[in-house]
């Protein structure tokens, strides 16, 4: 799970990524190091932090922290990544970097993103689902390929939301 606001642990970059591996039984140093390097390379952080692996994760920029949190999820080799507004707390440059990263990751993982950012959803999603809450009950209104859902929505609530009339 990747949250809206980066949430690195108050540990070094290395320990930040070792912790989930150790919790899942990985103990051999060479395996730990290989998995850490792979995850950091996957998120484009390796070249930025390889000389600072023992520095505090909290000293990284916001965008770097978010990529580190994505690496923390990747280090366990999940089949699905769930992201809750992964760019909402980031500046535009960091958002673009994370969006590009998501684009690369979706070739290897199922990536589910919760977002209110319709422009971002159009840029990075293959499929979209529109949910609507009524009387404290959420309902799936429409699901389908992203472009048709945005361009020719089948449901009036979806049409009103994507056009800016509702929501």
User: Model confidence over 4-20: pLDDT tens digits?
Assistant: 999 999 999 999 999 99
The CATH number of 1-117, from 3.30.300.30, 3.30.70.1560, 3.40.50.300, 3.90.1580.10, is 3.40.50.300
pLDDT digits (tens, 9 = 90+) for 128-158: 999 999 899 999 999 999 999 999 999 999 9
Q: Is the pLDDT of residue 167 over 70?
A: no
pLDDT digits (tens, 9 = 90+) for 94-122: 999 999 999 999 989 999 999 999 999 99
Domain boundaries, the chain: 1-117, 126-167
Position 165 scores a pLDDT of 84
Position 28 scores a pLDDT of 97
Q: What is the mean pLDDT of residues 78-104?
A: 94
Contact 129, 162 (CB under 8 A): no
Tokens standing for 95?
A: 């958002």
Tokens standing for 2?
A: 């990747």
Name the one residue in this structure whose structure tokens are 């690195």.
8
- pTM of the prediction? 0.90
Contact 161, 139 (CB under 8 A): no
Helix ranges restricted to H, the chain: 13-23, 29-42, 46-49, 62-74, 92-105, 118-124, 146-151, 156-163
């Amino acid at each position: 799970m990747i949250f809206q606001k980066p949430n690195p642990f108050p540990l070094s970059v290395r320990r930040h990524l070792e912790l989930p591996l150790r919790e899942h039984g990985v103990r051999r140093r060479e395996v730990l190091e290989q998995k850490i390097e792979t995850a950091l390379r996957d998120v484009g952080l390796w070249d930025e932090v390889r000389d600072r692996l023992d520095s505090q994760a909290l000293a990284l920029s916001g965008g770097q922290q978010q990529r580190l949190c994505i690496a923390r999820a990747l280090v366990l080799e999940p089949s699905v990544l769930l992201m809750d507004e992964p760019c909402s707390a980031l500046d535009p440059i960091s958002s673009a970097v994370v969006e590009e990263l998501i684009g690369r990751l979706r070739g290897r993982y199922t990536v589910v993103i919760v977002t209110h950012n319709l422009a971002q959803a159009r840029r990075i999603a293959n499929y979209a689902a529109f949910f609507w809450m009524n009387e404290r009950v959420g309902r799936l209104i429409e699901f389908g390929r992203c472009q048709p859902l945005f361009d020719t929505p089948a449901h009036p609530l979806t049409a009103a939301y994507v056009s800016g009339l509702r929501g």
